[in-house]
Structure 1
Amino acid sequence: MRYWRVERKSSEGQLDLGRAFDLMSAIGHEDVNAMAGAILKTVASAAPIVQCTIFAYEFGNRPRTVAVADRRGGRFLQDIADSYARHYYALDGNQSVIAPASSRQDCAIVLHQQASDEIAHAGYRAACYQRPNVSDRLSLLVQPAGDIWLSVNFYRDSAQGQFGPGEIAAIETLAPLFAHGAQHHYRLNGQPLQGAGPMMLASLRRHCPDLSKRELDVLRGVLEGLTAVEIADAMGLQPSSVITYQKRAYKRMGISSQRQLFALCLGPQAA
């Protein structure tokens, strides 16, 4: 696995105007997957890629799928994206880029490469690489706001092997176009209204930075009014595991009840 900051380069060759127009037209489109589809078509000039996903990582929560596109059609990729968001996102190498300690405010664009054989976790590797027949992934990461990152992901079919240096260089040249297009689309169509849940969760993260991602996911469910069974179903866990994560989080924060949790979110002196 490796990641690096994209430096602006002078473009070589020409971008097909029809594909560029499709990409611009997809910004804010009512079809939620139009942006991923337009990016997938445009990037074909740089390298053979079979799938594209766009995820939003907001306020340290588990990722939300903004758009998907699969040359093979169907909702298979959507199911894979859902599985990633529920079970495996914390194992993703992208987390080393989007972690709060490495948060950037200078509109940097970062590329991260992660091949199937570099993933140690068998479940993650099977669900997100082997099952969809992916050998390599190149992720374009950009930060539209302080607590928000977008990830535009390009997936390589196993028959095509890993990305070559020339293909990566060609994608890197197009990266600013994709990054700015994805950011504008997110602001127009992909960004949900910031409800109480995400904002309160951000407050908890500031209060207790040691909370794990699983603990934060459980607390998010509690703040949204879900039961332990409903949270367990959303996270793919047993209800007993949810209760364990909740108790562990409460202990870290020095509280013992749901009432104190809400008080902690709403005011620094309330808890």
Structure 2
Amino acid sequence: MKQQKLHPPFADVNMAVDQVIRLSQTVGSENFIQAVMRVATETCGADFVSLFCQGDRDTPLLIGTACRLGQRRAAQAAKGYRRHVHVDGNTAILSGSQGIGDFLTYQSAGDIPSFTYRRDCYDLPGISERVSVVRRAADYGLSISLYASDENGPFDAPHGDKIQALFRLLLALTERHVAFSLKDGVWMENDVQARLALSYPDLTPREREVAAMAIKGRTAKESADLLGVAETTIITHRKKAYKRMNVTSLRQLMASY
């Protein structure tokens, strides 16, 4: 996978006002991903789109995915991604491996050395290449990916500038969509940290992170390895989190959660 860090300002996207208005009106609704798909197709010929948010440092959360050639193919690609999420290059950037900023990544099917990864995420759904922008901020990560299908071939060179320009708009609107969706509970139930933040606002970010991993079934050692800290540190944060949540065990935490 190829990647580069983007430095603002991005190029302006040349879109009709009515396109921007229609897309903006879907922010916070279940129609947002389909609206993004339409705009991406009209602007740069994209056949698939996917949006992910890194609410936890464990597994990116799928906000939405679409394919203009059939939603079944989008679902198939998402299924493959879930299987191989921890070896995908965008996942590492989402978790902060490259620091804070916006990163442009490119990956074609031929770039993937793993046969099963390439089969599940590209060959079966019929994807030839992916272009993504990954934003890693201090408190969250966000990725927007556009894909070209096998039958329509890779993105043409002139589409490169259009894609980068489109990403500028999509980043701004997707951030708003995530915020509105979280507030209204559209996908909040799938994000453990988000639920903990709303239910137990006194938790520190690290306590919330550790508690979320415990709820997901992570052992103290697994959490320590994932966060790059000592196992005793995880145990200490877990005890403090339990105290703030007025529970004494994982069983009580699960019941409360």
Q: TM-score range by the shorter chain?
A: 0.7 to 0.9
Equivalent residues of 2:53, 2:142 under 8 A apart = yes
Give the corresponding residue for 2:127. 134
State percent identity of aligned pairs: 17
* TM-align CA RMSD: 3.5
Structure 1 residue 222: Cα displacement: 4.0
Between the aligned partners of 2:74 and 2:172, the Cα distance in structure 1 is: 24
What is residue 171 of structure 1 aligned with on the other side?
A: 163
Q: Of 218, 222, 243, which aligns to 1:249?
A: 222
Assess if the C-alpha contact under 8 Å between 2:81 and 2:121 holds in 1: yes
Offset, 1:52 = 0.8
CA contact (8 A) 1:27 1:185 kept: yes
Distance 2:46 2:197 in 1: 36
Give how far 1:66 is off.
Answer: 0.7
Residue 49 (str. 1) matches residue 46 (str. 2): yes
Q: Is the 8 A contact 1:58 1:149 kept in 2?
A: yes
Q: Which whole-Å deviations, capped at 9, do the CAs of 1:87-146 have from their partners, x for residues lacking one?
A: 211111113423434332xxx432211111111122111111111110100112224x52
TM-score (norm 1): 0.70
**Letter matched to residue 3 of structure 1:** Q
- The alpha carbon displacement at 1:79 in A equals 4.3
Q: Deviations over 1:29-49 (max 9, x none)?
A: 2x2xx2221122112233221
Identify the match of residue 239 of structure 2 among 263, 267, 270.
263
- Structural mapping, 1:75-224, within 5 Å: 75-85=72-82, 87-104=83-100, 108-143=101-136, 145-190=137-182, 192=188, 194-196=194-196, 203=206, 220=212, 222-224=214-216
**TM-score normalised per structure 2:** 0.73
User: How many positions carry a matched residue from both structures?
Assistant: 228
Could you say if the C-alpha distance between residues 247 and 196 of structure 1 is closer, same or farther in structure 2, counting changes exceeding 3 Å? Answer: closer
Retained in 1: the 8 A contact 2:196–2:208?
A: no
Q: Does 1:11 align with 2:8?
A: no
> Which runs of 5 or more residues in structure 1 are unaligned?
207-215, 227-244
> Runs of at least 4 residues of structure 1 off by over 6 A?
197-201, 258-261
Give the partner amino acid of 2:12: S
Q: Which runs of 5+ in 2 are unaligned?
A: 249-257
Please give the alpha-carbon distance, in whole angstroms, between the structure 2 residues aligned to 1:148 and 1:23: 23
Letter of the 1:170 counterpart? K
Structure 1 distance, partners of 2:77, 2:11, is 36
Instruction: Give the Cα–Cα distance (whole angstroms) in 1 for the partners of residues 105 and 237 of structure 2.
Output: 36
C-alpha displacement of 1:154: 0.6
91-100 or 19-28: which moved more?
91-100
